[in-house]
A and B are shown apart, each in its own frame.
Chain A
Amino acid sequence: MKDYLVLRVIAKLMIPFMLLFALYVQFHGDFGPGGGFQAGVIAAAAIIFYAIIFGLPAARAVVPDRLVETMVASGVLLYAGVGVAGLLLGGNYLDYFVLGRDSVAGQHRGIFWVEVGVLVTVAGVMLKIFYMFAGRDRGEDA
């Protein structure tokens, strides 16, 4: 689809706003609807859109496979790490009260990092699955 001028222009116009919207959904999730799951999917959708219009190699150049695979694992580790941080600071596993000066600040910090972990893993997994499917040939033996 690289040769369609309209698609290229529209995609280039829209993708920054899609990524911005993903960030909005992520960081505004405390106040409105949204959170890590939704933001991760929207961010992955923006990259997939880019891959559909400009081709898979272009998308792989922007978000390489190695980065995606790192994202898949690091999100879960970040989430679990927030729990361990709570343990080390003297609370129970996944207790956020101990993470900040007072309990509300700790809750804020805990929820923030947990949601970042969700975003990273969800976006990574969605992108990875798309890469794996789209990267296969249509050969008879595939």
Chain B
Amino acid sequence: MTLLMMMAVVTVAIAGRRNLFAVVILFGIYSFLMATVLVALDAVDVAMTEAAVGAGISMVLFLSALHLGRNEEMKPLHKPFLPLVVAVATGAALAYGTLWLPAFSDPEAPIHQHVAQRYIAEGARETGVPNIVTAVLASYRGYDTLGEVTVVFTAGIGVIALLRRVRRRKQGGQA
């Protein structure tokens, strides 16, 4: 609960800042808080990813992008009331939706009644891998992970395609 309060404080601080360097640092703090929340929820694998990707790599990428641009955000052209109303309404709808969710770690919840029981009961024997997360990720849900890797690959070649074209054109202009 304390962590969630701290995350809320950081979020408000991010929204209020104009200095983008401060925003990037606050994003890093937010990611570390999120990782701590995930550890508290016993999702260590996800916490590790959040700490490495959210707080590590994305901060470096934000900073290197910041190095290319300006340090201060421009003054907004519109009053922020319409986006504020949309955000508050969406947040309220989501919070309203959680009221009917099963309680956290309720063993009777529908999601634990389907294939999860089989993974827990048979996973270690069938795959010989004690970490169920790895067994599900790499073996039972191999297709999904292949899809994820393909997404990462696509993102990579997308960035290559976008940034390299600009550089080529510039060289052509100079020549």
Contacts and interface: CB of A to CB of B under 8 A. Distances in A.
Q: Decide whether A and B are members of one complex.
A: yes
Contacts, number: 139
Contacts of A73: 153
A98 interface: no
Interface string A63-106: 00000010011011001100100000000001010000001110
Interface in B8-56: 44-45, 47-49, 52-53, 56
B134 interface: yes
B125 to A, nearest CB: 8
Interface residues of B, number: 45
A127 to B, nearest CB: 9
Contacts of A134: 64, 67
Contacts of B146: 79-80, 83, 94
A113 to B, nearest CB: 10
Contacts of A104: 126-128
Interface residues of A, number: 52
A41 B52 contact: yes
Interface in B142-175: 142-143, 145-146, 149-150, 152-153, 155-157, 159-160, 163-164, 166-167, 170
Interface of B: 44-45, 47-49, 52-53, 56-57, 60-61, 64-65, 67-68, 126-131, 133-135, 137-139, 142-143, 145-146, 149-150, 152-153, 155-157, 159-160, 163-164, 166-167, 170
27 contacts: A31-B131, A32-B131, A33-B45, A35-B133, A35-B137, A35-B138, A37-B53, A41-B57, A42-B52, A45-B56, A73-B153, A79-B145, A104-B128, A107-B126, A108-B127, A111-B134, A114-B145, A115-B138, A125-B153, A125-B155, A128-B159, A130-B57, A130-B60, A130-B64, A133-B68, A138-B68, A142-B166
